[in-house]
Structure 1
Amino acid sequence: MSGKPIEGRTTAASEDGVVVFHVGMRINSFAAVRSWWPVVRAMGPMLAELERDEGSGLLGYKSLLGGVRELYLVQYWESKEKLLAYAAAPDKNHRPAWAAFNRRLREGKGKVGFWHETYVVPASSHEAVYMNMPEFGLGRAIGVVPVGRRGDRAADRLQLS
């Protein structure tokens, strides 16, 4: 994590809905580098492509480690439509990477695992609080404001319309 901590309590700036997309992989066999290394390498170009395209719908992301075997990203998107459009676009990096991954899956006999979860979070159904933290997670994706501006308690922030 980088950035200077913001003193005090902040919250995610937006009251709009957001799509939270978790995507990850699990290395089931460290010896099967041919099965998992291309998966690791594919994500960087996709993220770079999305960051260059301001209209892509990607608001931000955070890379995480889930132990020695697991790598994953939490991504924040403007809408499910933009997420699905990127996933299906024939002229973007995702489609060929997904096709190559599926070919390796059939050949690799379970040496690498993959997963994703998508959460469509309507307006007034999310809240966040950060204490003495740099912008982080959803707050980094959409910006932060002092907590009082959106309500001092989580219950207050969740009731905003």
Structure 2
Amino acid sequence: MSAKPTTAGRTTADARGDVVVLLIGMRVNHFWAVHQWIPVMLAMFRMLAELKKDPDRGLLSRVLLTASPRTYCVVQYWASAERLYAYASAPDAFHHQVWARVNRMERDGKVRGHVGIWHETYVVPEGRYEAVYGDMPPFGLAAAHGQVPLAERGRTGKDRFAWRAPAS
């Protein structure tokens, strides 16, 4: 995997309109229960691979994070909430199979608390997000929407929050 080239100077994300962010992850509650948490981790990687192969599903970018030795997170940027929900409920998507399996295991009492799963979804209106990158390749919101020189959106955070995309 080749490294993305660094963009010199200060930039910001070229996002326009609402931004959809999904935080999703897992927490290993019992490290010794590898047979419980490894399948969860592998399922997440498989879903990310499926989404990368089919950009029309709406995932624009993602960042993998380790919050602690037992908590892992994927920050995902989506084209819209509708496309995120369409993927989550699509019968042909791997997510549908995984969620059905989790629900069956809970119903049958087979989930023993060895691994936790969670997600939070945010739809952030235009003018309510701001991003600054210094000497960075496209990352986070900028990887999802593109990168522009900081000056295009204003000198201060207050200016950038006030920026609105021109009417089309």
Is the pair's TM-score, using the shorter chain for normalization, greater than 0.5?
yes
Q: Deviations for 1:4-54, whole angstroms, at most 9, x for unmatched residues?
A: 322110000122211000000000001111211110000122112112222
Alignment of 1:6-155 (within 5 A): 6-105=7-106, 106-155=109-158
Contact conserved, 2:105 with 2:111, CA < 8 A, in 1?
Answer: yes
Distance, in Å, in 1 between the alignment partners of 2:57 and 2:70 is 30
Letter paired with 1:152: R
Task: Note if contact 2:87-2:93 (Cα within 8 Å) is conserved in structure 1.
Answer: yes
Q: Which moved more, 1:26-35 or 1:102-111?
A: 102-111
> 1:48-95 CA deviation, whole Å, 9 max, x = no partner?
211222221111000010111011100001111110110001111101
Q: Among the aligned pairs, what percent are the same residue?
A: 48
Q: Distance in 2 between matches of 1:32 and 1:110?
A: 10
Residues 98-139 of structure 1 show CA distances to partners (whole Å, capped at 9, x for unaligned) of 122334454132110011000001122111000111111111
8 Å Cα contact 2:63/2:76 also seen in 1: yes
Q: Which runs of 5+ in 1 are unaligned?
A: none
State whether residues 39 and 101 of structure 1, in contact with CA within 8 Å, keep that contact through their aligned partners in structure 2. no
2-side partners of 1:134 and 1:117: how far apart?
26
TM-score relative to the length of structure 2 = 0.90
Residues in 2 aligned to 1:87 and 1:63: alpha-carbon distance in whole angstroms: 19
Q: Distance in 2 between matches of 1:108 and 1:32?
A: 12
**RMSD between superposed Cα atoms in Å:** 1.5
Aligned to 1:160: 163
Contact 1:27 1:112 in 2 (8 A): yes
Alpha-carbon distance in 2 for matches of 1:20, 1:3: 22
The code of the aligned residue for 2:24 comes to V
The runs of at least 4 aligned residues of structure 1 exceeding 6 Å deviation read none
